[in-house]
Structure 1
Amino acid sequence: MRVSVALFTADLRVHDNPVLSAALKDAERVVPLFVVDTGIHRTGFAVPNRAAFLADSLADLDAALRARGGRLVVRAGDVVDETCRVAAETGAGAVHIAAGVSRYAARREDRLRARLSGDGRELRVHDASLTVVPPGALTPAGKDHFAVFTPYFRRWEDFSVRRVLRAPDAVRVPDVRSADLPSAKSVAPGATSPGLPTGGETEARRRLRAWLSGPLAAYEDQHDDLAADATSRLSPYVHFGCLSPTELLHRARAQDNPGAHAFVRQLAWRDFHHQVLAARPDAADHDYRPRHDHWRHATKEIEAWREGRTGYPVVDAAMRQLRHEGWMPGRARLLTASFLTKTLYVDWRVGARHFLDLLVDGDIANNQLNWQWTAGTGTDTRPNRVLNPLIQARRFDPHGEYVRRWLPEPEDYPAPIVDLAEAADRFGRARARARALPAGNG
């Protein structure tokens, strides 16, 4: 009897799951395995909001597998050690896993391959599971990745995307020990945001049906309207793999309207950032394009930004939404990031860390590279643009509805912590000095 292991990572679903589908084709019995990775604590990536969403998603995945005659096998510890242990206990000939793009995922994959090979087993990596287009599948002439989005998007649109895979009818699991499903607090103790969404594929597919049934059509016109709350809110489900980005693409394209086209473009941005990080893993914490910035260490201003007390209502409303929901719409992320990095001239890594501490969809590729894009150290072709929060508010919250939703105490509201004109001048002078540096200086 052949046995294979389907090692779940950021693909916590049964629909359109290349890892699970390949493992089921490979063997009569499959171990659907999730390892609660104790090593992730050393990366600072295990935080309460994502731990709660993960616990929901694993419970939902287990229920979906049980409905098909199987179950989720859970272990805790080092992913490589526990996976190899399960493979040995069940006599599995192969382990299937989705390809990741971070340094952590790449090292995990290398270690797994070496250990399994030494035991006479095989690691099979599936590169079309976490993104629509696999990182590295599209490259410009003579380079290993695209550094500008527009030419990448032109190629991305013409890529032959794989078909959507059906959820399995049955999953037969060999006799193997499993730990209990983890609770949120066992993964990352601490308080969660009170407005955190429920995780899991069941909730993801409910939200997807609602999104496709009407709101998607208005996405092009309304996605930046802060008061309208007109974005999909599907990003946490895509981050944890409760929804397949490939299925999202096919179902959005089937709508064939301007809103769907604009939404598809966001899926391409996600893939773009993944291919950048796959080629340049150091961009997770180093400038992709160094600007020789001498960032300010403005402790009180940073704390005011984190708490949503900068004196600029649209910035503060967004930061309070982040704390309450563990989520913000894209426009709010851009304007708060610009305020920190360009108006306050604070290192983008400070903001990226705060976002990762709270965002339920916190993703190394998208979070870090979007922060760099906004800070002007990433792939933005206009690295010195500054988003004025007053202009942003007039454009994207003209009637103040979004601000009133998140700032209920106008009588106790603080004065602005910085003058916008002075801040813009400070940023412009800093970048001008940096441009004047001789090559190689920093």
Structure 2
Amino acid sequence: MTMSTSLMLFTRDLRVRDNPALAAACRADRTVPLFVFDDALLDGPFAAPNRVRFLLDALADLRESLRGRGGDLVMRRGDPVTEVARLARETGATELFLADERSAYARRRLAGLEELDLKVTACPGITVVPPGDLTPSGGDHYRVFTPYWRAWEASRWRPAAATPRAVRLPPGLTAGPLPDLTALTAGTPSPDLAEGGETAGRRRLARWLRDDAADYDEVHDDLAADRTSRLSPYLKFGCVSPREAAEAGPTGFRRQLAWRDFHHQVAAAFPDLPRADYRPRGRRWNHDEDAFAAWCEGLTGVPIVDAGMRQLQREGFMHNRARLVTASFLTRDLGIDWRRGLGHFNDWLADGDIADNAGNWQWVAGTGNSTRPDQVMNPLRQASRYDPSGAYVRRHLPELADLEGRTAHHPWTLPPDRRGALAYPPPILDLD
């Protein structure tokens, strides 16, 4: 009797729970879970140290979960199509399963895989609602969020996929080692980067649901409270199922996941989203290298902006409200091209998702899907509203840690003798 063998190519779905592609692959008699370190992604901005470190955490955790079910995670490096073809010949596999991604890169990868002598099945699981499942009448995708949100809330989500109890490998297969960080990237991760992996992600989700989810609508914009879910990097790498998180979270949190899906369907319809204006406005950008460098290093002299940028460097994460404020300051106040800000965020964010990052930057810059493209976020008003006590600023700017209350947002108003003692620069522009 011939044993059926399938391949499971993990990409951005690094989990065993609610993973439709893995569940489908494990219906075969033998399953080969595979992850390929793609040289095309490791040679460039995608190999940001924070994301590589988070990825390695996730892969180590996934390997342990598979080994606990009798299997293993086969690791290879090179071109995914070439490595899948080689492993299929080695194991006699006839089917391949993977998550359904819609980025331009993922489409090229899928097209290459479909040329192999394998039955290829792309399964949902990257988003709650796959791009293209919801379309407006007379269009291929939603361009405005609110009608998309209504359709998203009314849609029927796929059922949860079963968690495999056993993963049976073909005999004699060499899994391969998990590479060191230094073999994949030359940089150093942020010192306070969160631990990656499904175990850590599910632990964070459970803790947030228990302690903070009920108050989400009231506290998610509170910078000092820091009570957002912080699930974004786990969603980026698929360590946590977005469908499961949406099902468990409150309405306001589901709305944020719907924004994530919204940007994914925009990027699927407009693959140039990270590079070109979605809605060109003919804006002429400044090229002030000193101002851009000050913004990157958190040395603009505007505390709420600098606190966000310092948090980014230290944690590989930034509070969502701070992301909006820092992006608005760069594009609206300094007049610097949103693509430069996008690139800097990509260098540091563990959750640097192409569709979400580009979609949000374009939204703030007024070139994307915002219905108020001329909106400007005054950083001082944002600070007064979302960090009224100055606690967020003092937490991330040690040079201002000893200031009292709201003075942390206005250090330039201190008397000259006190202001001169601060190791903090004056504002690089007149905020009035």
Q: TM-score, normalised by structure 2?
A: 0.93
**Matched AA of 1:19:** A
Whether 1:167 aligns to 2:163 is yes
Q: How does 1:59-78 map to 2 (within 5 A)?
A: 59-78=60-79
Whether 1:265 aligns to 2:255 is yes
Partner of 2:193: 196
Structure 1 375/19 Cα, relative in aligned 2: closer, same or farther at 3 Å? same
Give the CA deviation at 1:178: 2.6
Whether 1:239 aligns to 2:236 is yes
**Matched AA of 1:80:** V
**Matched AA of 1:11:** D
Give the CA deviation at 1:294: 1.1
Q: How does 1:420-431 map to 2 (within 5 A)?
A: 420-421=431-432
Give the CA deviation at 1:185: 2.0
Whether 1:335 aligns to 2:329 is no
* CA deviation map 1:163-196 (0-9, x unaligned): 2123211000113233211222222122110000
**Matched AA of 2:140:** D
Q: Give distance in 1, aligned partners of 2:162 and 2:184.
A: 31
Q: Give distance in 1, aligned partners of 2:361 and 2:176.
A: 38
- Out of 408, 414, 423, the position equivalent to 2:425 is 414
Q: Give distance in 2, aligned partners of 1:186 and 1:203.
A: 24
Whether 1:181 aligns to 2:168 is no
Give the CA deviation at 1:43: 4.5
* CA deviation map 1:251-294 (0-9, x unaligned): 22xxxxxxx11001001000000000011101121110011111
Partner of 1:210: 207
Partner of 1:229: 226
Q: Give distance in 1, aligned partners of 2:182 and 2:203.
A: 26
Whether 1:81 aligns to 2:82 is yes
* CA deviation map 1:332-354 (0-9, x unaligned): 10000000001000000000000
Partner of 1:142: 138
- Out of 387, 391, 408, the position equivalent to 2:381 is 391
Partner of 1:15: 17
Identity of aligned residues (%): 55
**Matched AA of 2:182:** K
Partner of 1:50: 51
Q: Give distance in 1, aligned partners of 2:354 and 2:102.
A: 9
Contact kept? 2:7, 2:31, Cα under 8 Å = yes
Q: Give distance in 2, aligned partners of 1:169 and 1:179.
A: 23
**Matched AA of 1:91:** G
Contact kept? 1:12, 1:57, Cα under 8 Å = yes
Superposition CA RMSD, Å: 0.9
* CA deviation map 1:51-102 (0-9, x unaligned): 1001110000000000000000000011111111111111111111111121
**Matched AA of 1:131:** T
Contact kept? 1:48, 1:185, Cα under 8 Å = no
* CA deviation map 1:198-244 (0-9, x unaligned): 00111111111101112001110010000000100011101100000
Structure 2: 5+ residue runs without aligned partners? Answer: 401-421
Give the CA deviation at 1:412: 1.0
> Which moves more between the two structures, 332-341 or 177-186?
177-186
Contact kept? 1:5, 1:23, Cα under 8 Å = yes
Structure 1: 5+ residue runs without aligned partners? Answer: 253-259, 422-442
Partner of 2:92: 91
Partner of 2:8: 6
Q: How does 1:316-395 map to 2 (within 5 A)?
A: 316-395=306-385
Contact kept? 1:71, 1:173, Cα under 8 Å = yes
Q: Give distance in 2, aligned partners of 1:124 and 1:398.
A: 51
Give the CA deviation at 1:160: 0.5
Contact kept? 2:128, 2:243, Cα under 8 Å = yes
Contact kept? 2:74, 2:175, Cα under 8 Å = yes
**Matched AA of 1:261:** T
- Out of 401, 405, 422, the position equivalent to 2:395 is 405
> Which moves more between the two structures, 181-190 or 157-166?
181-190
Partner of 2:303: 313
Contact kept? 2:274, 2:339, Cα under 8 Å = no
> Which moves more between the two structures, 164-173 or 5-14?
164-173
Contact kept? 1:2, 1:29, Cα under 8 Å = yes
Partner of 2:294: 304
Structure 1 runs of 4+ aligned residues shifted over 4 Å read none
Contact kept? 1:57, 1:242, Cα under 8 Å = yes
Partner secondary structure for residue 213 of structure 1: helix
Q: Give distance in 2, aligned partners of 1:98 and 1:50.
A: 19
Q: Give distance in 1, aligned partners of 2:25 and 2:157.
A: 21
* CA deviation map 1:319-370 (0-9, x unaligned): 0000000001110100000000010000000000000000000000000110
Contact kept? 1:7, 1:32, Cα under 8 Å = yes
**Matched AA of 1:168:** P
Partner of 1:112: 113
Q: Give distance in 1, aligned partners of 2:43 and 2:76.
A: 18
Q: Give distance in 2, aligned partners of 1:184 and 1:367.
A: 24
**Matched AA of 1:15:** R
Q: Give distance in 1, aligned partners of 2:180 and 2:125.
A: 26
Q: Give distance in 2, aligned partners of 1:408 and 1:177.
A: 50
Q: Give distance in 1, aligned partners of 2:180 and 2:57.
A: 8
Q: TM-score, normalised by structure 1?
A: 0.91
Q: How does 1:253-292 map to 2 (within 5 A)?
A: 260-292=250-282
